[in-house]
């Protein structure tokens, strides 16, 4: 699986090159028709404010002070990590989330039950649900799958003015990440976030500070979460079948009761043939 992943589409975020301009957030909104205006992005809550992913926010940039170094800031970027073996997909009982052969993890609305198992399973807490919609969707970054199929780069990587975001094949980006660390070892922590986290991801990060200081989840297992969710999900067909039997029996009882009532029998008549 890991060697297949090396050929897949991926993104590299180099925190040392990020200036917090948030052009990537604006481009993401435009490319995905999320409805944000420049005022929403640039006049609203900023890189220093607490923010979260949302149905209309597939990514955001964060700024962090460095202890003991006043005036120095480091940046992080939050979005779907496009796990090599995504727990969101393996936890979905109807395969509404798919790890595509090209790498991005995408959502198929026509299959989704709205059970939200994917939200609970994701180790990076990424998928969001449209709680206030009559026809709610699971919403998250799909690594601009359509754009990439048409030969374009993801919108955020396309627009980034400093090269902090780079699109490419995972294997090549991983090599480049380690080459940058080797060239300037004092400027980076010796860790490519996403190389091994949760079994590896197609979104890789390098930075000058330990990733927990950038708000990233630390100490994630290096086994994929799919291997953890698969045994539990293997029971789902039996649970659904069992549920079907129970619901079918309940429906039969309700129907039977309705039939008896319609035909003039009440509960005191139980045991009599209609």
Q: Give me the least distance between CB of 32 and ligand SF4, in Å please.
A: 5
The reply on whether position 140 binds ligand SF4 by CB under 6 A is yes
Helix (H, G, I), strand (E, B) or coil at 181: helix
Q: Give me the least distance between CB of 96 and ligand SF4, in Å please.
A: 12
Among 92, 96, 126, 177, binds ligand SF4 (CB under 6 A): 126
The reply on whether position 21 binds ligand SF4 by CB under 6 A is yes
Using CA atoms, how far apart are residues 64 and 143, in angstroms rounded to an integer?
A: 25
What is the torsion angle, in degrees rounded to the nearest 10, for the CA atoms of residue 24, residue 27, residue 31 and residue 36? Answer: 110
| Tokens linked to 95 | 């395969």
The reply on whether position 20 binds ligand SF4 by CB under 6 A is yes
Using CA atoms, how far apart are residues 222 and 203, in angstroms rounded to an integer?
A: 15
Using CA atoms, how far apart are residues 167 and 148, in angstroms rounded to an integer?
A: 10
The reply on whether position 117 binds ligand SF4 by CB under 6 A is no
Q: What are the C-alpha distances in Å from 143 to residues 37, 55, 174, 188, 233?
A: 21, 15, 17, 26, 26
Among 12, 53, 88, 106, binds ligand SF4 (CB under 6 A): 88
Helix (H, G, I), strand (E, B) or coil at 93: coil
| Tokens linked to 2 | 């890991």
Q: Give me the least distance between CB of 93 and ligand SF4, in Å please.
A: 15
The reply on whether position 166 binds ligand SF4 by CB under 6 A is no
The reply on whether position 78 binds ligand SF4 by CB under 6 A is no
Window 214 to 243, contacts with ligand SF4 (CB under 6 A): none
The reply on whether position 12 binds ligand SF4 by CB under 6 A is no
Count of residues that interact with ligand SF4, criterion CB under 6 A:
41
The reply on whether position 143 binds ligand SF4 by CB under 6 A is yes
Using CA atoms, how far apart are residues 81 and 105, in angstroms rounded to an integer?
A: 9
Using CA atoms, how far apart are residues 127 and 190, in angstroms rounded to an integer?
A: 29
- Which of residues 136 and 265 has its CB atom nearest to ligand SF4 in the complex? 136
Give the Cβ contact number of residue 38 at 10 Å.
Answer: 11
- Which of residues 160 and 174 has its CB atom nearest to ligand SF4 in the complex? 160
Q: Which residues bind ligand SF4 (CB under 6 A)?
A: 18-24, 27-28, 31-32, 58-59, 61, 75, 77, 79-83, 86-88, 105, 122, 124, 126-127, 140-144, 154-156, 160, 162, 164-165
């Amino acid at each position: 699986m890991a060697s297949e992943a090396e050929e897949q589409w991926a993104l590299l975020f180099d925190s040392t090159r990020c200036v917090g301009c948030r052009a990537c957030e604006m481009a993401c909104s435009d490319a995905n028709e999320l409805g944000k205006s420049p005022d929403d992005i640039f006049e609203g809550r900023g890189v220093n404010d607490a923010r979260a992913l949302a149905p209309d926010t597939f990514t955001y940039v964060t700024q962090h002070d460095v202890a003991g170094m006043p005036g120095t800031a480091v940046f992080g970027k939050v979005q779907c990590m496009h796990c090599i073996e995504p727990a969101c997909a393996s936890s979905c009982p109807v395969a509404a989330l798919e790890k595509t052969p090209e790498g991005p993890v995408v959502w198929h609305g026509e299959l989704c039950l709205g059970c939200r198992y994917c939200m609970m399973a994701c180790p990076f807490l990424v998928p969001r649900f449209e709680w206030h919609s009559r026809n709610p969707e699971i919403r998250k970054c799909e690594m601009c799958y359509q754009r990439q199929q048409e030969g374009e780069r993801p919108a955020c990587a396309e627009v980034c003015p400093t090269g902090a975001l780079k699109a490419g094949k995972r294997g090549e980006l991983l090599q480049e990440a380690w080459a940058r660390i080797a060239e300037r070892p004092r400027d980076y922590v010796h860790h490519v976030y996403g190389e091994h986290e949760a079994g590896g991801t197609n979104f890789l990060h390098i930075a000058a500070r330990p990733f927990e200081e950038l708000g990233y989840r630390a100490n994630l297992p290096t086994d994929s979460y799919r291997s953890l969710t698969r045994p539990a999900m293997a029971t789902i067909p039996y649970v659904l079948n069992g549920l079907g039997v129970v619901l079918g029996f309940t429906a039969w009882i309700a129907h039977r009761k309705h039939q008896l009532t319609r035909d003039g029998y009440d509960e005191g008549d139980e045991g009599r043939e209609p």
